Amino acid sequence: EVQLVQSGAEVKKPGESLKISCKGSGYRFTSNWIAWVRQMPGKGLEWMGIIYPGDSDTRYSPSFQGQVTISADKSISTAYLQWTSLKASDTAMYFCARLGAAAGFVDNWFDPWGQGTLVTVSS
Amino acid sequence: QSVLTQPPSVSAAPGQKVTISCSGSSSKIGSYYVSWYQQLPGTAPKLLIYDNNKRPSGIPDRFSGSKSGTSATLGITGLQTGDEADYYCGTWDSSLSAGVFGGGTKLTVL
């Protein structure tokens, strides 16, 4: 079974750093892009960026470029989403998802999704 | 404001049919495949439709997708109370060089 398991909920203060993870299993981790998607409280889905674990090629949405860093460690089949200085507005649920087709990232889809990591930033 | 436009809510009675629209532009839906996702309350999204009209294994044929020009549509027949969820469309946006989602549609089964 293809599965993505994310790290647990986090409570942080503004200005702190954070790295959350997404571990893949049940497939060749290096063959499919992994995406990160934000969902702010009561709001819709936002595409943040993607990474190809095979060579760490990374693409960001303009809205998130420079705000977060996406990385991966293929040796442990894990992708990461990282902040250096959190803001209250980063409070959200963050999902990772595998791009379903192994070839390319444009005409693609997300399947499966991780269970989500809730990040709360509050003083 | 989302790049793809969906109605905020739709509703129908059990057993009935409902459609959810997703509209964009030539740089988005007009040029790329559309996928659809179901998000039940408190859970992660789940893939319902990919490549405009294909269903992953395990998704019942009550769910269907179509695309015409710069709009896509998700159809759900034989509505069940368990279908109450938020539904999102997604595609690629060449003007952003990034993926995009619709704002989501809340389905209520009355």
* Residue B53, helix vs strand vs coil: coil
Candidates A99, A109, A113: best to mutate against B (most CBs of B within 10 A) is: A109
Asked if residue A53 lies in contact with residue A44, where contact means CB atoms within 8 angstroms, the answer is: no
Residue B27 pLDDT: 78
Region B81-101: what's the mean pLDDT?
95
Average confidence score pLDDT of chain B: 95
Chain A residues with CB inside 8 Å of B20's CB? Answer: none
What are the tens digits of pLDDT across the range A15-49? Answer: 999 999 999 999 999 999 999 999 999 999 999 99
Interface of B with A (CB under 8 A): 2, 32-33, 35, 37, 39, 44-47, 50-51, 56, 86, 88, 90, 92, 96-104
What are the tens digits of pLDDT across the range B12-36? Answer: 999 999 999 999 987 788 889 999 9
